[in-house]
Amino acid sequence: MLSLGRSWILARAVTSRSSANRARPDPRSNPSRTCAGSGRFNVPTSAEFVARVSGIPTMAKLPHQETADGLDAAFVGVPIDTGTSNRPGARFGPRQIRGESALLRPYNSGTRAAPYESMMVADIGDVNVNLYDLKDTCKRIRAAYRKILATGCIPLTMGGDHTISYPILQAVAEKRGPVGLVHVDAHADTGDVTLGEKIAHGTPFRRCVEEGLLDCKRVVQIGLRGTGYSADAYEWSRAQGFRVVQVEECWFKSLAPLMAEVRAQMGSGPVYLSFDIDALDPGFAPGTGTPEIAGLTPSQGLEIIRGCRGLNLVGCDLVEVSPPYDTTGNTALAGANLLFEMLCVLPKIKYY
Ligand SMILES: [Mn+2]
């Protein structure tokens, strides 16, 4: 028994030592020919050397660590759907995004970004949510993000329904003051009360405005569409000073010119990026809670995120992936790629 205990302790010691040296990549997964400048940063396990389908599924096959300490950016899951008004299932979003993210490779061929050569990135697991109490969950999220942000790390969040952006932005604004917001969505999510409740996935940005978390002149909502509760469903957004870009303004065209205007609107102040997967057309992303026809294409989604390069991004989320409504996994795969693209536009990223 004693010797068993002793070997367990030794094994733990070896594990801790290798954890402390996490910056030193596994040579099998990080050949110098593919990762110039390697050695200082976490590098995902490469499918060139380790089978893609093997291992514990972390986001992008990055190492997992418990806290954000020492990280420049962290992927973090918030697995809830208790704020959902229609189809549930987004609680499974982080898990399926991680699974599908095994297909991601370390470089961005489109933009030539090399995110793992200039930033320390890891998957720090999920917020310990309360599936039976949404208000308590919001408190838990806010507390978790306070800790993450206190380390100087930029969180890249995997939702979870859109309710989560509210407590995340509470923590962000507590540190940074009111922030700009690039909000990509089929819906404005500015409702006041739903079934008598203030906290739900259709209300986060109303709560954010009420609490002064947003710099309202530096808010843009892109891709809004669908039937509404009044003829001008976005009147409240415009009245706050938000720029509203309805989907009709996006159809059949590149969004690169729009994003040049958005960059000018955002200026150099802190900006949060919130991307609801239902902004994409349900033909591309059917696995979501409140789908609306005639949405954005995946390439427009990439243009929006790539158009955020140069902004002072202080946090990003990708929400509302609901795996039960897309058994192909393609919605989660889209989500994983959009999250990788978000990583690729963070301020310290190196480009070739
Ligand atoms: Mn939303």
Using the mean position of ligand 1's atoms as its centre, give its distance from the Cα of residue 186 in Å. 7
Annotated binding site for Mn(2+): 162, 185, 187, 189, 276, 278
User: What is the spatial distance between Cα 134 and Cα 121, in angstroms, rounded to a whole number?
Assistant: 29
Q: Where are the alpha helices (DSSP H) in the chain?
A: 2-20, 93-100, 134-150, 165-176, 204-210, 235-240, 256-266, 298-306, 330-343
Q: What is the mean pLDDT of residues 85-100?
A: 98
Using the mean position of ligand 1's atoms as its centre, give its distance from the Cα of residue 77 in Å. 17
Using the mean position of ligand 1's atoms as its centre, give its distance from the Cα of residue 202 in Å. 7
Using the mean position of ligand 1's atoms as its centre, give its distance from the Cα of residue 189 in Å. 6
Predicted confidence (pLDDT) per residue in 7-27, tens digit: 333 333 333 334 434 444 444
Specify the pLDDT at position 8. 36
Using the mean position of ligand 1's atoms as its centre, give its distance from the Cα of residue 188 in Å. 7
Q: What tokens appear for 331 in the block?
A: 């919605």
- Mean pLDDT, the chain, whole residue set: 91
Residues measured by CB to lie within 5 Å of ligand 1, the ion: 162, 185, 189, 276
Q: What is the mean pLDDT of residues 258-266?
A: 98
Specify the pLDDT at position 55. 94
Using the mean position of ligand 1's atoms as its centre, give its distance from the Cα of residue 232 in Å. 18
Predicted confidence (pLDDT) per residue in 273-296, tens digit: 999 999 999 999 999 999 999 999
Specify the pLDDT at position 38. 56
Predicted confidence (pLDDT) per residue in 211-253, tens digit: 999 999 999 999 999 999 999 999 999 999 999 999 999 999 9
Using the mean position of ligand 1's atoms as its centre, give its distance from the Cα of residue 126 in Å. 20
Could you give phi then psi for residue 180, rounded to 5 degrees?
-75, 160
Amino acid letter at 138?
C
Specify the pLDDT at position 39. 75
Q: What tokens appear for 310 in the block?
A: 């140069």
Specify the pLDDT at position 10. 35
Task: Please tell me which residue, 56 or 27, carries the higher pLDDT value.
Answer: 56
Q: What tokens appear for 87 in the block?
A: 């189809």
Specify the pLDDT at position 251. 98
Annotated binding site: 162, 185, 187, 189, 276, 278
Using the mean position of ligand 1's atoms as its centre, give its distance from the Cα of residue 216 in Å. 18
Predicted confidence (pLDDT) per residue in 297-344, tens digit: 999 999 999 999 999 999 999 999 999 999 999 999 999 999 999 999
Predicted confidence (pLDDT) per residue in 157-176, tens digit: 999 999 999 999 999 999 99
Predicted model pTM: 0.90
Give the domain ranges of the chain: 2-351
User: What is the spatial distance between Cα 323 and Cα 320, in angstroms, rounded to a whole number?
Assistant: 9
Complete DSSP assignment for 219-277: EEEEEE-S--SSS-TTHHHHHHT-EEEEGGGTTTS-SHHHHHHHHHHHTTSEEEEEEEG
Q: Thinking of the domain 2-351, which architecture would CATH place it in?
A: 3-Layer(aba) Sandwich (3.40)
User: What is the spatial distance between Cα 230 and Cα 186, in angstroms, rounded to a whole number?
Assistant: 16
Using the mean position of ligand 1's atoms as its centre, give its distance from the Cα of residue 201 in Å. 7
Using the mean position of ligand 1's atoms as its centre, give its distance from the Cα of residue 237 in Å. 14
